[in-house]
Structure 1
Amino acid sequence: MFNLIDTTLFFASYGNIANITNITISPMDIALAYIVTIIVSIVVAYALRIPLLPSKPYRYSFDVSAIYPTPIIAMGIFSIFLVLNYTFMYNGLVLAIVIGILSALFVKYLFDFVFPKHLSEDEGDVIDE
């Protein structure tokens, strides 16, 4: 994961070397935008009444929570925009806030539809005989 962040910082901050775009952003601005994305996604997810932590036992829980899938999804989507050299305005802070809100909404309403939970061995289709 740190390699992805390092690569994103490199491509976003030095994307103007070959005069590809007119956007240049410093690594500190990118780190600040990542932090804003993480905080906004967790706060909005918690405001949408997503539990802060998954149910116990934590290791085997596939429940969504505000801590685990929400900021990871937000960081991934924000990384895609940074690699494409699109930061919108205020060095990516507005984009970070929008992506944080949208990722929390995605986890709340669409996550179980896109990524369905697995069935355990005891659960499954019941065949009536």
Structure 2
Amino acid sequence: MATFSDVLRLGVELPEVVESTSYGTPALKVRKKLVCRMWGEREYNRDDVHDTEVLVLFCELEIKQVLLDNHPDVLFTVPHYDGYGAVLVRMADVDLDDLADWIEDSYRLRAPATLLRQLDAD
């Protein structure tokens, strides 16, 4: 089971990622732009998600369905995110290698080009 501590440990390896909050929940940001965040208490008022914490990650809208289809036990979405490039991660079921990849992908969508060049150079 992954926790936000794992998300933080993986995320701060990326240039200029800092721990922050979003909607009162733990989050990672790069230059004040959200990279990912934990679901808040108000979002857990659902019958279908009650046994795990949930992380919101950004993805390209064009590959969202592919991600969901390839990882149905880990990734999901809700109507709130229809038409939006974001997926939800069941933290109880995620593999840490996949989590690291998805955090980096989310970062790449949010970070400025200068930081992406720095990341690619490292």
> Radius of gyration: which is bigger?
1
Q: Which has the higher helix share?
A: 1
TM-score, length basis structure 1: 0.30
TM-score, length basis structure 2: 0.31
Q: Which has the higher strand share?
A: 2
